[in-house]
Amino acid sequence: MSQFAAEDFRPIILPSPPPASPVLMEALKYLAGYPQHVQTRVRELIEHGRLGAMLADKYGQPHTVRSDGQLYEYVQTLKDRHLRKSVPLGKVIYDGKLQVVKHALGTHTAISRVQGDRLKASREIRIATVFRDAPAEFLRMIVVHELAHLKEAEHNKSFYQLCTHMEPDYHRLEFDLRLYLTHLDAGRSAVEGEKQS
Ligand SMILES: [Zn+2]
């Protein structure tokens, strides 16, 4: 099975140069709910240009779930394994307009009205396009998150129990995903900073 062709072994998390200092003054939006000392540590990693390398060490493996059809199969397989009895899947697609923070991660306790409504309307699962190029572990984490919403609209205790049932490392992966998204943002800001100077 040549699932991983040679070109798939490209580095998927690129190191980024230390960003221009104003970036560091901005809030770390993906980590807003975490204690100050955690945010300070992450800022230090970004400042020293080390966040990308740290993530690349842990998450070097890309995935091959490229098309919406492949995504559907991937989600269906996980669902069959863990949530066989829940409602059948509707549409499953990568969505380039989805904002990860608002729709997929939110805050740990907030009720998501958007997701609640969507839940009633259909069993559609939308995965932000950023996950197409993300390490395999983060795609699995976000799919687990969305599958858990098939049974539980809110981010409450039973929701997270479902998540850790499907993926025992769920909490670590969600935190590292936040680091990954922070890293992508910092990289973009650095590039924009260079263009301006
Ligand atoms: Zn959610």
Query: How many whole angstroms from 131 Cα to the centroid of ligand 1?
Result: 15
Query: How many whole angstroms from 51 Cα to the centroid of ligand 1?
Result: 25
Q: pLDDT per residue over 136-145, tens digit each?
A: 999 999 999 9
Helix (H) or strand (E) holding 127: strand 125-128
Among 76, 95, 98, which residue's Cα sits nearest to residue 87? 76
Q: What are phi and psi of 127, to 5 degrees?
A: -115, 125
Query: How many whole angstroms from 26 Cα to the centroid of ligand 1?
Result: 25
Query: How many whole angstroms from 45 Cα to the centroid of ligand 1?
Result: 27
Pairing of strands 92-95, 125-128: parallel
Question: How far is 85 from 108, CA to CA, in rounded Å?
Answer: 26
- In this prediction, residue 4 carries a pLDDT of 46
Question: How far is 195 from 190, CA to CA, in rounded Å?
Answer: 9
> What's the whole-model pTM score?
0.79
Query: How many whole angstroms from 48 Cα to the centroid of ligand 1?
Result: 32
The two structure tokens encoding residue 137: 């572990």
Cβ 16 vs Cβ 187: under 8 Å: yes
Query: How many whole angstroms from 167 Cα to the centroid of ligand 1?
Result: 15
Find where tokens 């809030």 sit.
27
Query: How many whole angstroms from 4 Cα to the centroid of ligand 1?
Result: 30
- Boundaries of every domain in the chain: 6-61+175-191, 68-171
Question: How far is 55 from 36, CA to CA, in rounded Å?
Answer: 21
CATH code matching the domain that covers 68-171, chosen among 3.30.460.80, 3.10.28.10, 3.30.2010.10, 3.40.190.10: 3.30.2010.10
Query: How many whole angstroms from 18 Cα to the centroid of ligand 1?
Result: 31
Q: pLDDT per residue over 118-172, tens digit each?
A: 444 457 888 888 899 999 999 999 999 989 988 888 888 999 999 999 999 999 9
